Structure 1
């Protein structure tokens, strides 16, 4: 388990992190979210001991050792491969920096290239690959030694939906073998789909922390989707309805002022009869992200 406890970091007069704390358990995926400059990369760099900080970071209750760092897989936001090396040479080079032998790593390369649908051969040079395939090779470099702690800084950036799904499968597979995983993303759909927990930073401070469901439910079930032959004007006139959006024929999204208004709206619209849809939900992570970035408070 990774424990980040009361981390604070300043760069001159800029407070990059302020009293940041969280745990990432074995077999757990945590999403670290926040707008640009919120402190996500600084948090990663603190874990990796790239910079000094105030506070404490431990792995299984102890300060991270050199051996522990060999068990970390890190994908930086700024991708960096050596263009004149072959795929095999690049993967083996980075693996050896993690104290992995070429004898162990080389037999795994073809399988990992298949997993990520890399177009090319292990003997192809990096500079002959497309940008997308270069990115997938860097992902292989991060994961091939089966690290126990995986840190991914914007791993989905630049990936099309098909390749993003391949990465999600690899992340979930690493979780299932017991790895602790933390990744940052601006795409809340990715966070919502595969994360167990999330931490949101704003101006270097933790403003949200918990399971994805718990975080969403903090904001109340104030979104209501329903199918009805009522008009938008009729729906808007109901008590507790703040806003009505038509999203299809007879299909509406209602924003409620109070989640407790749901049962009365249900009774009014259905009048004891069947309707195809009535679904009361909390806001999406994307909506919550936008709210928190703007600094809007919630109950």
Structure 2
């Protein structure tokens, strides 16, 4: 397990991290979210000992040291490959830096290229690949030594939906192999789809922490998804409905200022008769993200 306890970091007058604590158990995925400058990359750099900080970071109850680095897979936000190398040379070189021999790495390369649908062969030069295929090669370099701690800084950036799904499958496979995984993303759909837990940073401080359900339920079941022949005007006139968002035919999303109003709205819409859809849920993670950012501006 990766354990981060009370870490803080200051750059000159900027408090980049302030008393940040959370754990990432083996076999779980944690999503680290927040606006640009919230402290996500600084957290990653602290874990990797790239910078000095106060507080404590441990891996399996011991401080992280250079001896642990072979167990870590790190994908930085700024991608960097050596353009004159072939795909095979690049993958073998970075795997050797992680303690994996060329004899072990080379037989795996074709399988990884196929798994990520890389357009090129092991003899293709990095400089001849598209930007997307270069990114997939760097992902392979991050994963091929089967790390036990996986740190991914904006791994989905620049990937189309098909390639994003390939990456999701690789992350899930690493989780099933027992890896502790932490990744940052601005796309809440990826966080929702993959994460067991999440942490939201704002100005270097933790403002949300827990499972996705725990975080969403903090905000109450303030959304109603309904299919009804009522008009948007009539729905907006219901008590405690603050906003009506029309969807497809006869479908609406209602925002409530009081979750307890749900049963009364249900009775009003149905009068004891069948209704095709009535689902009361907490806000989505994307909406919660916007709410927390909005609190800052307020």
Match of 1:20 in 2: 20
List per-residue Cα deviations over 1:161-216 (Å, max 9, x = no partner).
Answer: 00000000000000011000000000000000110000000000000000011101
Note the C-alpha offset of 1:246: 1.3
Match of 1:166 in 2: 166
Q: Does 1:209 align with 2:212?
A: no
Superposed CA RMSD in Å reads 1.0
Equivalent residue pairs, number: 297
Secondary structure, in 3 states, of the residue corresponding to 2:159? coil
- Using the alignment, how far apart are the partners of 2:69 and 2:238 within structure 1? 58
Q: Does 1:274 align with 2:274?
A: yes
Secondary structure, in 3 states, of the residue corresponding to 1:248? coil
- Using the alignment, how far apart are the partners of 1:271 and 1:26 within structure 2? 50
Match of 2:75 in 1: 75
- Using the alignment, how far apart are the partners of 1:257 and 1:219 within structure 2? 11
Unaligned runs of 5+ in 2: none
Secondary structure, in 3 states, of the residue corresponding to 1:132? helix
- Using the alignment, how far apart are the partners of 2:116 and 2:248 within structure 1? 37
Moved more, 235-244 or 256-265: 235-244
Match of 2:62 in 1: 62
- Using the alignment, how far apart are the partners of 1:228 and 1:178 within structure 2? 46
Match of 1:108 in 2: 108
Match of 2:118 in 1: 118
List per-residue Cα deviations over 1:114-173 (Å, max 9, x = no partner).
Answer: 110001100111001111000000000000000000000000000000000000000000
Note the C-alpha offset of 1:241: 1.1
Give the TM-score normalised by structure 2.
0.98
Note the C-alpha offset of 1:67: 2.3
- Using the alignment, how far apart are the partners of 2:296 and 2:57 within structure 1? 31
Q: Does 1:189 align with 2:186?
A: no
Match of 1:245 in 2: 245
Note the C-alpha offset of 1:296: 5.8
Give the TM-score normalised by structure 1.
0.98
- Using the alignment, how far apart are the partners of 1:42 and 1:104 within structure 2? 33
Secondary structure, in 3 states, of the residue corresponding to 2:295? coil
- Using the alignment, how far apart are the partners of 1:295 and 1:256 within structure 2? 18
Note the C-alpha offset of 1:244: 1.2
- Using the alignment, how far apart are the partners of 1:110 and 1:67 within structure 2? 29
Alignment of 1:218-297 (within 5 A): 218-295=218-295
Alignment of 1:26-41 (within 5 A): 26-41=26-41
Secondary structure, in 3 states, of the residue corresponding to 2:20? strand
Secondary structure, in 3 states, of the residue corresponding to 2:73? strand
- Using the alignment, how far apart are the partners of 1:169 and 1:56 within structure 2? 32
- Using the alignment, how far apart are the partners of 2:243 and 2:293 within structure 1? 22
Secondary structure, in 3 states, of the residue corresponding to 1:80? coil
Secondary structure, in 3 states, of the residue corresponding to 1:288? helix
- Using the alignment, how far apart are the partners of 2:257 and 2:293 within structure 1? 21
Match of 1:152 in 2: 152
Note the C-alpha offset of 1:100: 1.1
Secondary structure, in 3 states, of the residue corresponding to 2:247? strand
